Structure 1
Amino acid sequence: MTTDGDASGNRDAGRPSTVIRGGIVALGAALVFTACEGPSMIDPAAEMVFYGATVWDGSGSPMIESAVIQVAGGRILSVTEAPEGTDVASQTPSAVESVDLTGQHVVPGLINVHGHVGGTWSQDMDVGYGDYVHAELERYARFGVTTVNSLGGDGPPSFEARDASWTEEPPGRARLLVAGAVVVGETPHEAVAMVEDNAARGADWIKIRVDDNLGATAKMSPEVYGAVIDKAHELGLPLAAHLFYQEDAKGLLSAGADLVAHSVRDQEVDPDLMGQFRETGVCYVPTLTREVSTFAYGERPDFFDDPFLMSDVDEAQVLAVSEPARRESIRNSRTARAYRIALDIAKHNLKRLSEGGVTIAFGTDSGPLGRFQGYFEHMEVELMREAGLSMDEILLSATGDAAACLRRDDIGVIEAGRRADFIVLSSNPLEGPAVLRSIESVWIGG
């Protein structure tokens, strides 16, 4: 896959650090003093001050040079540009922790709008589900993914991790949203009962699949998914739809689906569907790496030689996808060949929809077997660049736009009032996907 810049993209074969800090509960007023108004630009309420970096804030605004990010209680108090000649370190009280980021770049933590946690591929293994939830969220964070929307397969430990991730205490791992069980049913009554059960458990989203797996299974009917969407909305929950075909996308948007969780992969999207997206404001999640996972393991993939992955990988998954019988099955699979073609269609449609004014939300469907969490998010960026999106567009889809698509106003942008979730990079992220690997540190909750 084509990348911009250095293919290695990281300082060494090791992983970056994930830095967590505690904080007070209440936020002080954001009182910022300029050089002419007082001796210090440091907010009296600040607990941490990051200074010297160039900030790409996730809002679509120009970069902020010589930025000063002030944090308290895990939230951002202010983001300002230091006047030329300002010695921020000398202005920072000794009781306030200061971090010199001179020469580095800061971007919001990446948001995966469609992922999965909990060892969803490993049900037959002697590994605790809760252990997988925590380990996978920690791995996401080490790769710079600070929020994951887990769309299906979520058991009680995922709900507990979700609850812990949105308290005032830094979670120590990626934040989490959950959908509970994927809703299925041959009748509206059966499917609606599952919606009610997920709602009772406290799900953030409802997830359905409207797909025949290339003709191998029966699709959920419009009657059933219409009833599911209506019940989800009645209960105040948004609905995410797995799909493959354009006609199903049109039907789901007409029925009120709130998120299209995969690419349209059967044909070029037409003007009618593009118009539906614009009219409804529904976000489109490409999940290009999902297609890669369906055919990549017919042979040993090149990315198994990438230290960025192999220095922080679930070895059990590597062994599982490398079994000779599995490789042979994939090599001989018509389905795998079909999904390889579908990837090209998906990339074409991503560019077409983006140019047509449709909001793109970053997502990978990582978590199932062979979809390596954290690493596949970086691969998704590469594929989106290959599709023709700019780095600015890709980063926006993974930060500010992703937060808006998830209906969250507390993440995704480095601005006052939002959670202090961000990545420190050694270089300018707009130079290309490889730069996103140059992670110096990851901060979740300041």
Structure 2
Amino acid sequence: MKRLTQRSVIALLASATLGACDAADRETSPVDTAEASALAVVGATVIDGSGADPMPDATVVVRDGRIESMGPSGEIEVPADAEVLDAAGKYLVPGLINAHGHVGATLGLEGGHYSRANVLRQLGLYASYGVTTVVSLGGDEPAGVEVRDEQDTPSLDRARLYVAGAVVAGITPGAALEMVNGNAAMGVDFIKIRVDDNLGSTYKMTPDVYEAVIAGAHELGLPVAAHLFYLEDAHGLLDVDVDFIVHSVRDRDVDDALAARLVEADVCYSPTLTREVSTFVYESEPEFFSDPFFLASAEPAVLEALRAPESMARYRESESAQRYKEALAQAQENLGALSEAGVTIAMGTDTGPPARFQGYFEHMELALMAESGMSPMEILVASTGDAARCTGLDDVGTIEAGKWADLILLNADPLEGVENLRAIEAVWIAGNEVPSVSG
């Protein structure tokens, strides 16, 4: 797997006490939870995010925000100072990782509202749906970098964030490299480029420009994620060592050569199927507008605006919306082919812009991945362990000793269907339980 190099961040490993799990219907040990310095989740079936077989009746011990030990309950000693959560009959999986989101700019249906408060609010929203890490690929500002720099601590209680700064544009190599240098100076984790003409309506970055950007970013130790649409551009970007493809090929069937090149170069592919959905789904009232799992976080004013007849008419009359509807079918077909060929898939959604609903759309993405032919285990790994590896994140993505305790406890088996990832009993980030919704 080609690993994207994460920007070094000084660890703020304070000895904060873990948040206790205080739901009324859970059994705990006699230890006073206010004094407990560890958490033991006992009896759950653990699906660790690596693709390994599930481990029934397992115990996971968490201390100082990290997993201290994990294994069969008969082999793991529960510390005397631990709060014990009886999770028999439940399923424990890693927190989901969105390898392509956007954080901080949207309020309601408007962009342009980037602020620290909005970044934190949206990271809390992601976390409530079990999305515990977000790689924000564009539109990030210094406040997001500041939030990123504060997160390596046992007291964390919202989703983790990694950033790309401004999406790099420019019609000359020099202009584009100036943006790369500006992002690097801000302290980003990735560089994001767009190689797309928006269905023929705008300028598309040329090979000489993106080659210079990729080379320049690599000199600075920064990986490059590429937005694309066309098969030809996927090949061109691989020619110059792009690190990550973060949208589906949508103009035609992928060829065997692309699959082989992606596998050989260890370059991951993030399909972002819900991006296409968002372009046309509001031409009529979507079925999910009555889904309690969606309504748990939806803003009534936003729903009212999208239900307005004039809004729906704009979607129906949009030529690009209808073309993107066709592109979704092509994207799903290509995802199925690439996954079958052994290409590493990383779950991503492009959520964050207006009407691309953070948290809920990640679960919609999982369902679309299943429709594309991926198995529940493949989808879970693409959303956890592989998403972490594809984005160079070493401390999250799997349930194993030493990693951050970013976890989801489920009331149903996610390997029987990805819809069961909605059956959320609890979400922990660094071992701290955060408010969550359940479907």
Give the TM-score taking structure 1 as reference length: 0.86
Structure 2 counterpart of 1:366, from 347, 351, 365 = 351
**Alignment correspondent of 2:148:** 162
Task: Confirm or deny that 1:51 pairs with 2:36.
Answer: no
Contact 1:179 1:204 in 2 (8 A): yes
**Partner secondary structure for residue 389 of structure 1:** coil
Residue deviations 1:213-252 (CA, integer Å, cap 9, x gap): 0000010010111111011100000000000000001001
Instruction: Tell me whether 1:141 sits opposite 2:132 in the alignment.
Output: no
Taking the TM superposition and a 5 Å limit, the aligned residue runs for 1:149-188 are 149-165=135-151, 167-188=152-173
Change in Cα spacing, 1:218 to 1:430, as seen in structure 2 (3 Å) is same
Distance of 2:114 and 2:246 partners within structure 1:
28
Supply the AA of the counterpart residue of 1:60: G
Q: 1:302 aligns with which of 287, 295, 300?
A: 287
* Structure 1 residues 394 and 286, CA gap change in structure 2 (3 angstroms): same
Q: CA deviation at 1:325?
A: 2.7
Aligned partners of 2:109 and 2:354 also within 8 Å: no
Between the aligned partners of 2:109 and 2:139, the Cα distance in structure 1 is: 11
Q: Which one of the candidate residues 198, 202, 217 is aligned to 2:183?
A: 198
1:111 aligned to 2:97?
yes
The farther-off stretch of 71-80 and 117-126 is 117-126
Secondary structure, counterpart of 2:234 in structure 1: helix
Superposition deviation, residue 312 in structure 1: 1.1
Instruction: State whether residues 165 and 188 of structure 2, in contact with CA within 8 Å, keep that contact through their aligned partners in structure 1.
Output: yes
Distance 1:105 1:174, change over 3 A: same
Task: Report if aligned partners of 1:263, 1:285 keep a CA contact under 8 Å in 2.
Answer: yes
Unpaired runs of 5+ residues, structure 1, are: 1-21, 27-44
| 8 Å Cα contact 2:114/2:141 also seen in 1 | no
Q: 2:104 is aligned with what amino acid? A: G
CA distance in 2, matches of 1:330, 1:311: 25
Residue in structure 2 matched with residue 41 of structure 1 by the alignment: none
**CA-atom RMSD, angstroms?**
2.0
Query: Structure 1 residue 62 and structure 2 residue 61: aligned?
Result: no
| Structure 1 position 320, deviation (Å) | 4.1
Distance 1:369 1:117 in 2: 11
**Alpha carbons of structure 1 residues 431 and 410: separation in structure 2 relative to 1, 3 Å:** same
> In percent, how many aligned pairs have the same letter?
52
- Where 2:232 maps in the other structure, the secondary structure is helix
Q: 1:326 to 1:347 in 2, by over 3 A?
A: same
Counterparts of 1:76-155 in structure 2 under 5 Å? 76-83=67-74, 92-93=79-80, 95-120=81-106, 129-155=115-141
Number of equivalenced pairs? 401
Contact 1:23 1:72 in 2 (8 A): no
Note the C-alpha offset of 1:121.
6.6
Of 414, 422, 438, which aligns to 1:437?
422
1:23 positional shift: 6.8
- What's the offset of the Cα at 1:265? 0.3
Counterpart for residue 11 of structure 1: none
1:173 and 1:357 map into 2 onto residues whose CA distance is: 33
Partners in 1 of 2:421 and 2:280 — Cα distance?
A: 26
Look up the SS of the partner of 1:350 in the other structure. helix
User: Within 1, Cα distance between the matches of 2:139 and 2:182?
Assistant: 14
Determine if contact 1:75/1:420 at 8 Å carries over to the other structure. yes
Q: 1:129 to 1:234 in 2, by over 3 A?
A: same
Aligned to 2:363: 378
Query: What is the distance in 1 between the residues matched to 2:416 and 2:272?
Result: 22
Contact persistence 2:110–2:354 (CA under 8 A): no
- Report deviation, 1:160: 1.5
Contact 2:105 2:353 in 1 (8 A): yes
Structure 2 residue runs without a partner (length 5+): 1-12, 18-35, 432-439
CA distance in 2, matches of 1:434, 1:279: 33
202-211 or 321-330: bigger deviation: 321-330
Measure, in 1, the Cα distance between the counterparts of 2:186 and 2:319: 39
Structure 1 residues 387, 151: CA separation in 2 closer, same or farther (over 3 Å shift)?
same
5 Å-filtered alignment, 1:275-286, equals 275-286=260-271
SS at match of 2:205: coil
> Is 1:215 matched with 2:206?
no
SS at match of 1:242: strand
Q: Give the Cα–Cα distance (whole angstroms) in 2 for the partners of residues 408 and 130 of structure 1.
A: 23
> TM-score by structure 2 length?
0.88
1:213 maps to amino acid: N
- 1:253 CA displacement: 1.1
Letter in 1 for 2:400: E
Q: Deviations over 1:301-339 (max 9, x none)?
A: 111111100111244543443343332111011111111
* 1:413 to 2:398 alignment: yes
Pairing 1:427–2:418 present: no
Q: Find the residue that maps to 1:103 and give its secondary structure.
A: coil
CA offset at residue 130 of structure 1? 2.2
Change (3 A) 1:225 1:109: same
Change (3 A) 1:236 1:314: farther
Are residue 325 (structure 1) and residue 310 (structure 2) matched?
yes
> Could you tell me how far apart the structure 2 residues matched to 1:314 and 1:326 are?
17
Distance 1:396 1:265 in 2: 24
Distance 1:122 1:219, change over 3 A: farther
Once residues 125 and 68 of structure 1 are traced to their aligned partners in structure 2, the CA distance between those partners, rounded to angstroms, is 44
Q: Are 2:279 and 1:288 aligned?
A: no
- Report the CA distance between 1:256 and its aligned residue: 1.1
Distance 1:361 1:344 in 2: 19
Residues of 1 paired with 2:303 and 2:168: CA distance? 30
* Equivalent residue, structure 1, for 2:7: none
Cα distance in 2 for partners of 1:234, 1:316 equals 47
Kept after mapping to 2: 8 A contact 1:152/1:180: yes
* Counterparts in 2 of 1:129 and 1:241: CA distance versus 1, 3 Å: same
The equivalent of 2:24 in structure 1 is none
- Is residue 389 from structure 1 mapped to residue 368 from structure 2 by the alignment? no
**Aligned residues of 1:120 and 1:153 also touching (Cα < 8 A):** no
| Aligned mates of 1:342, 1:118 — CA distance in 2 | 28
| DSSP 3-state at the match of 1:312 | coil
- After superposition, the Cα gap between the structure-2 partners of 1:121 and 1:368, relative to the gap in structure 1 and judged at 3 Å, is farther
Structure 1 position 257 matched with structure 2 position 248: no
